[in-house]
Structure 1
Amino acid sequence: MYVAFDQLPPEARVWIYQASRPLSGTEIVGMMPGLARFAEEWTSHGRTLLASGEFLHQQFLVIGLDEGVAGASGCSIDASVRFVAQLEQHLGVELLEKSRMAFLQAGTVQLLKRGELKEAVAAGTVGPDTFYFDNTLGTKGELDTHWPRPASETWLARYFGQEEKNGLLT
C-alpha cells in the first residue's frame, strides 16, 4: 500500500539508490506515478507492504518501507531491485552501480569515484566539513537527521585523522 514518503515513521527501512547523473524535473515527475504504483502493489509473501518512494536532491531514489506493518522478504527485495533496474533502462541512468561517492558542494551533488578519494582529500577538494551522502543508512530517521552529514562524522573520518576523536571504527 502506498503512503506519502513523509508519512513513513522514523524506524521505516530505506534503500537509497544514487543516480549516475542529476535527474531533470521532467524525468522525476514522469517517474512518480510508476513509483507510487510499485509501492501500492509491492508485497511480501502475499502481504501488502506499507511503502513509498521519493527522489531527493535530483540524484537519489529512496524507497521506504514501514516494517512495523510487514517486513520485506528476499523475494520482495528482489522485486524492488527489478523495479529499480527498469527505471535505469527507462531513464538511461545507472542507479544500482555503487562505485561512486556523492558529496554536496556549493549546493550541488558532486560524484567521485572511490579511487579518486585520496587525491581529492590531498587536493582539499573534499575536507572534513564536506557533506557526504552515506547511502548505507538503514532508516528514514537516519535519512532525515544524518543525510548528508560532514565527512568527518562518517566512515570517511579516517581520511582526515579524526577517527579516534569521533570514536569511529575503521
Structure 2
Amino acid sequence: MIIDFKQLPDEAKLWVFPSSRKFYPQEIAGIKEKIEEFLLEWDDQGILIRSSYQLEYDRFIVIAVDDSLNSLSLEAHNILITFIQELEKTLEVVLMDKMNVCYKQGEFVQYKDLIEFKKMMKAKGVSQKTIVFNNMITNKVDFKYNWEINIMDSWLGRFMK
C-alpha cells in the first residue's frame, strides 16, 4: 500500500539504496513503475505494508514504511532485499553496498568505493566542506536531518585529520 511520503511518521523505518551510477533519464519511469508495483503488493503475513518511496538525485532509491502498528517481520524485510537485488540485476548497478561513498562534487553526486575515496582524501581531492551521504540512516527523521552531512560530521571525518 503506497502512501504519501509526507504522511509517514518521523520514526518510519527507512532504507537508502545508493546506485553505483546515476539512473539514465529513460530508466526513471520504469524504475518508478517497478517500485510502485512492488510496494502495492508488499505485505507482511497478509497485511499490506504502508510504504512510500522517493528517487533522490536520480541515484538513490529511498524506501520507507510505517511500522508503528506492526513491526516489520524478517520475512518482509527479506522480500524487500530480494526486490532490490532483482533491480540491481535488471539495471546492472550496485544498490546494496553501503560502504561505498556518495558525495557531492558541486551540483553532482559522485560514487566511489571506499578505497578510492580514501586515496582522494589523502590527495586532497575532497575538502573538510565536502557533503557526503549517510546511507546508513534508518528512519525518516534522520533522512530529513542527517542524510546529507558535512564529511567532518560523518565517520569519514576521522580520515581527514
Compute the TM-score of the two structures, normalised by the length of structure 2: 0.92
CA contact (8 A) 1:104 1:110 kept: yes
Identical counterparts, % of pairs = 28
Q: 1:31 to 1:135 in 2, by over 3 A?
A: same
**Structure 1, gaps ≥5 residues long:** 162-170
2:27 pairs with 1:27: yes
Aligned positions, number: 161
Q: CA deviation at 1:124?
A: 1.5
Question: Match of 1:22, as an amino acid?
Answer: K
Moved over 3 A (4+): none
Q: What's the secondary structure of 1:53's corresponding residue?
A: strand
1:33-112 to structure 2, matched below 5 A, reads 33-112=33-112
Instruction: Give the distance between the partners of 2:91 and 2:49, measured in 1 at CA.
Output: 26
SS at match of 1:61: strand
Determine the C-alpha separation between the residues in 2 that align with 1:144 and 1:108: 19
Distance 1:145 1:20, change over 3 A: same
Tell me: higher relative CO, structure 1 or 2? Use CA pairs within 8 A at least 6 residues apart.
2
Partners of 2:14 and 2:64 within 8 A in 1: yes
**Which deviates the most, 79-88 or 91-100?**
91-100
Residues 15 and 64, structure 1, Cα contact 8 Å, conserved in 2: yes
Contiguous gaps of at least 5 residues in structure 2: none
Give a deviation string over 1:16-75, Cα, whole Å, max 9, x none: 111111002321211212211211211112222111122111111111011113321110
Q: Give 1:99 shift.
A: 4.2
